[in-house]
């Protein structure tokens, strides 16, 4: 079996902490527990407004976890400087708007090649593996190659939020086509956003995918089942889909 990696996004543990202030629940402790339960890596998105993850969290994650750290970030000078200081395993460039509740779509790499190229080059020069968070669109995949990124993460939100069987099938086909094209043009392909116990199987079964990044749902499931159990259940569903 070609094992599919599971990245745990600890952002919304920090959301809970920040809702009341103080130190708990601690996103770094959650990251450590998730790794012990079977997660392969940790993702954290440091937003401009620091609505969940904060600078100190990123520094602690970098210092205290042994698993790969994926630093989700907007393409800004501030985030570039911090990434180059911390040197995480990977940085995923994502679109970011202050008014959005969560990331609403993929980065328009094709429309911003000239702007994104220098960020990708500087991150790579710092020894950081760069990925682009994009919609499952061939033009965006080709643009990711052109900008120099070795990895893409496909935004699975349209699939996750589709309601009719026809819409689900259509969005799954888009993901399958995009993953196959990514492999064809030499990109490592990840996916994430809105994945749950109920909908992860068909995505996990896409053979070209190497990693899924899941956070909000797992933090919510942990309220009812515990974080260990939620991670282990997701891991089992992903493994079953690969078999």
Q: Would you call the peptide bond into 25 cis, given omega within 30 degrees of 0 as the criterion? A: yes
Handedness of CA 229, 231, 233, 236 (dihedral sign): negative
Q: Tokens for 34?
A: 């998730």
| Catalytic option among 12, 52, 155, 193 | 193
| Catalytic option among 12, 72, 190, 211 | 72
Between CA 235 and CA 110 the distance in angstroms is 34
Active site residue 193: yes
DSSP code at position 4: P
Between CA 191 and CA 172 the distance in angstroms is 12
Q: Is 85 exposed, middle or buried (0-12, 13-18, 19+ CB in 10 A)?
A: exposed
Active site residues: 45, 72, 193
């Amino acid at each position: 079996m070609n094992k599919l990696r599971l990245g745990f996004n600890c952002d919304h543990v920090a959301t809970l902490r920040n809702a009341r202030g103080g130190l708990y629940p601690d996103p770094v402790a959650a990251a450590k527990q998730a790794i012990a339960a079977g997660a392969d890596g940790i993702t954290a998105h440091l937003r401009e407004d620091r609505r969940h993850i904060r600078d100190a969290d990123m520094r602690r994650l970098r210092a205290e976890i042994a698993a790969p750290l994926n630093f989700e970030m907007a393409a800004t000078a501030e985030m570039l400087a911090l990434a180059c200081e911390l040197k995480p395993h990977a940085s995923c460039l994502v679109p970011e708007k202050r008014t959005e509740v969560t990331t609403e779509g993929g980065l328009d790499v094709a429309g911003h090649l000239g702007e994104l190229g220098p960020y990708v080059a500087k991150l790579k020069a710092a020894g950081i593996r760069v990925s682009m968070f994009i919609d499952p669109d061939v033009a965006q995949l080709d643009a990711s190659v052109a900008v120099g990124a070795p990895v893409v993460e496909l935004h699975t939100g349209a699939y996750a939020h589709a309601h009719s069987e026809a819409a689900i099938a259509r969005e799954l086909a888009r993901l399958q086509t995009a993953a196959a094209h990514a492999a064809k043009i030499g990109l490592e392909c990840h996916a994430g956003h809105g994945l749950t116990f109920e909908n992860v199987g068909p995505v996990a079964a896409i053979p070209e995918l190497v990693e899924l990044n899941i956070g909000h749902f797992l933090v919510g499931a942990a309220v009812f089942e515990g974080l260990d159990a939620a991670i282990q259940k997701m891991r089992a569903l992903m493994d079953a889909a690969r078999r």
